[in-house]
Amino acid sequence: MWPGLPGFAKETGMRPQQQQRRKVAVVGATGVAGQHFLVALANHPWFELSTLAASERSAGRSYREALTGPGGALRWACDEPLPERFAAMPVIDARALDPRSVDLVFSAVESDAARPLEEGLAPHVPVVSTASAFRYEDDVPIVVPGVNHEHCALVKRQQRERGWRGFVIPIPNCTTTGLVVALAPLVRSFGVRSVVMTSLQAISGAGRSPGVVALDILDNVIPFIPKEEEKVQRETAKILGRLEGDRIAPLDVAVSATCTRVNVRDGHTLTVNAGLGKKAPLAAVADALRAFGREFTDLGLPSAPPELIQLTEDPYRPQPRIDRHMHDGMTTVVGRLREDSVLPNGVKLVLVSHNTKMGAAKGATLVAEYLVHRGLV
């Protein structure tokens, strides 16, 4: 249900003042994740995209000019067309963004550049970030909607201890996202002790600067993505951990990740073997996956899919080309559910998760919607 429709405020528990549109900025608006933010925000009922920011390379140009390469090609990476209303908007240098001019900032730049920018913004305004700059700090939650949105409460500690009016909430690495969505129902129902995961990651996950060179990836698989496996291992335990007062107690789980890049444009495929805390029949595991996240999707937030997980019994699915678009890229498609005879109480599955939608811009937008719902923005 949409804000403005009768019954919305009642069903979501939103107060009328929460229905006012918030002004938002996107930092890194010209990149792959940034472009997806423009799509996610184009017709958003709660957020009005008022500021586009990027590096000094893009600053001073219109958005369309900033995206246009020297040969005249528009470097637009989304399936959806560039929303016309943003094409003529000016792009500013992110360092010149006045945090007081907006109610919320979406940050979508590489981690090294994100650190000083987010450090300058978060004292004044809430920042929802796709970058890893703050992910591993004690008072910073890494939030996946439907999985651990209750960790958002940790921003109160950030504000108290850092003296900030705003805060920073990162979303995870885009490979971690699909993994924790599939593991969360297993953790809740049976416990999870060990995970062995191999990713087949899409090209768009590497962004555009510099991105993946066509000659390297065509007809090929690249068996290494710098820092990726460490991120997946660390983030998984934190996200699936419990909020205990003012801190997150990470889940006691051993995670072994192998991350590879494959010749797919969008949509990360993961094979996941999980050792459960107790023996569970496959039918019970399937039920847990199917039922997962209803209490979150029932909130009716604008970017939420009707289901967080779709379980397929087709042995040839999920496939990134077919399944990444499920519910506009917000649903993780899980298939090939089987017993694993190597890990104790083992089960195994394959999943596809859209890295630039749920894994980046639209997922971050959903986090921001939840923050509005909670009265934190």
Ligand X SMILES: NC(=O)c1ccc[n+]([C@@H]2O[C@H](COP(=O)([O-])OP(=O)(O)OC[C@H]3O[C@@H](n4cnc5c(N)ncnc54)[C@H](OP(=O)(O)O)[C@@H]3O)[C@@H](O)[C@H]2O)c1
Size of the site for ligand X (CB under 6 A): 29
Q: Where are the beta strands (DSSP E) in the chain?
A: 22-27, 47-54, 91-93, 104-107, 126-129, 167-170, 192-201, 221-222, 242-244, 247-249, 254-262, 268-276, 309-311, 332-340, 346-353
Confirm or reject binding of residue 123 to ligand X (CB under 6 A).
Answer: no
Confirm or reject binding of residue 113 to ligand X (CB under 6 A).
Answer: yes
Tokens describing residue 32 = 């792959």
Complex with ligand X: residue 143 or 289, whichever CB lies closer: 143
Helices (H), 80-167: 84-87, 111-121, 155-162
- Smallest distance, Å, CB 241 to ligand X? 21
Beta strand 22-27 with 268-276 is unpaired
Is 259 one of the annotated active-site residues of the chain? Answer: no
- Smallest distance, Å, CB 335 to ligand X? 22
Confirm or reject binding of residue 355 to ligand X (CB under 6 A).
Answer: yes
- Restricted to residues 188-247, the positions that interact with ligand X (CB under 6 A) are 204-205, 207-209
- Smallest distance, Å, CB 108 to ligand X? 5
Three-state DSSP class for residue 359: coil
Tokens describing residue 87 = 């094409």
318 preceded by a cis bond (ω within 30 of 0): yes
Complex with ligand X: residue 147 or 289, whichever CB lies closer: 147
Please, which residues have CB within 8 angstroms of residue 20's CB and are 6 or more apart in sequence?
A: none
- Restricted to residues 161-190, the positions that interact with ligand X (CB under 6 A) are 174
Confirm or reject binding of residue 57 to ligand X (CB under 6 A).
Answer: yes
Is 152 one of the annotated active-site residues of the chain? Answer: no
- Whether the CB-CB separation of 279 and 345 falls below 8 Å is answered with yes
Closest-by-Cβ residue to ligand X is: 31
Options 12, 51, 130, 176; binder of ligand X; rule CB under 6 A: 130
- Smallest distance, Å, CB 132 to ligand X? 6
- Smallest distance, Å, CB 344 to ligand X? 32
- Smallest distance, Å, CB 74 to ligand X? 13
The residue range among 105-113, 227-235, 277-285, 342-350 that interacts with ligand X, by the rule CB under 6 A, is 105-113
List the strands of the sheet with 22-27, edge to edge: 91-93, 47-54, 22-27, 104-107, 126-129, 167-170
Options 94, 169, 180, 257; binder of ligand X; rule CB under 6 A: 94
Confirm or reject binding of residue 360 to ligand X (CB under 6 A).
Answer: yes
Which member of 36, 149, 152, 174 is catalytic? 174
- Smallest distance, Å, CB 13 to ligand X? 30
Helices (H), the chain: 8-12, 32-41, 63-67, 84-87, 111-121, 155-162, 174-190, 214-217, 228-239, 282-291, 294-297, 320-323, 361-373
d(CA 193, CA 272): 13
Confirm or reject binding of residue 356 to ligand X (CB under 6 A).
Answer: yes
Confirm or reject binding of residue 131 to ligand X (CB under 6 A).
Answer: yes
- Restricted to residues 260-299, the positions that interact with ligand X (CB under 6 A) are none
- Whether the CB-CB separation of 74 and 82 falls below 8 Å is answered with yes
d(CA 223, CA 74): 31
Tokens describing residue 2 = 């949409």
Options 12, 55, 236, 310; binder of ligand X; rule CB under 6 A: 55
Catalytic residues: 174, 268
Interacting residues with ligand X (CB under 6 A): 28-34, 54-55, 57-58, 94, 108-111, 113, 130-131, 174, 204-205, 207-209, 355-356, 359-360
